[in-house]
Amino acid sequence: MTDYTLDLASLLASRLCHDMLSPVGALSNGLELLAEEKDPEMRKRCFELLEQSAKISADKLKFFRLAFGAAGGFGDMVAVEEPRALVDALAGNNARVSVNWALGVATMPKPAVKVLLNFALLGMEALVRGGTLDIGAESRGGASEIVVRAAGPRIAFDQAIGAALEGVLGEDGLTSRNAPAFMLYQIAARQGGGLQFALTEDALVLGAVLPGA
């Protein structure tokens, strides 16, 4: 079996840098404009844009820290309000996406939280034209069960990502695009669980069962 540990770490770091480039670049551009702008109203607008970019940057960093990072190890329990706040903050930066929650637990193990966050991210990315993100989680028989449904017009979902959720890498192998999905596959495999997805033109459903998590 191929050991993808080093490649996976590198590609997740690349994905993080890619996603952070836009808001951090906006901060840099805003500072340059502010240094040159003399009009009070335009300076006020620059400050508003800087504040917005700073918030988006902070929201993404907090999200990725728990979604991709170790953040205290894999055995810790996490209050569900933490991932809920992270998803709500990220979705709040996109007015076209609304989030609904159905949580039957107060806490979740760290592996289950990572799956939930990454499922939510995949769902938001699929809603390129906006829509609704429904997120549910419960514990049954000692296993964490997670489901995320993204519904909206013309869902965008790369089948290579779906294959990576099942541990299958295509001709391109492991890439920065499918690395998060493959990470989820490894998390599920480590827990003795599994992932699945179903795709239609107007909905993407992601599900996970993680025994002992």
Evaluate the CA torsion angle 189, 194, 200, 204 in order and state its sign.
negative
27-58 tens-digit pLDDT = 777 777 777 777 888 878 878 888 888 888 88
192 three-state secondary structure: coil
Residues with Cβ within 8 Å of residue 163, at least 6 apart in sequence: 169, 170, 178
pTM metric for this prediction: 0.85
Residue range of the domain that includes 105: 5-211
Count of domains observed in the chain: 1
For 64: left if phi > 0, alpha if psi spans -120 to 50, otherwise beta; the answer is alpha
Sheet holding 203-211, edge to edge: 97-103, 131-140, 143-151, 203-211, 194-200
What CATH number has the domain bearing residue 21?
3.30.565.10
119-145 tens-digit pLDDT = 999 999 999 999 999 999 999 988 999
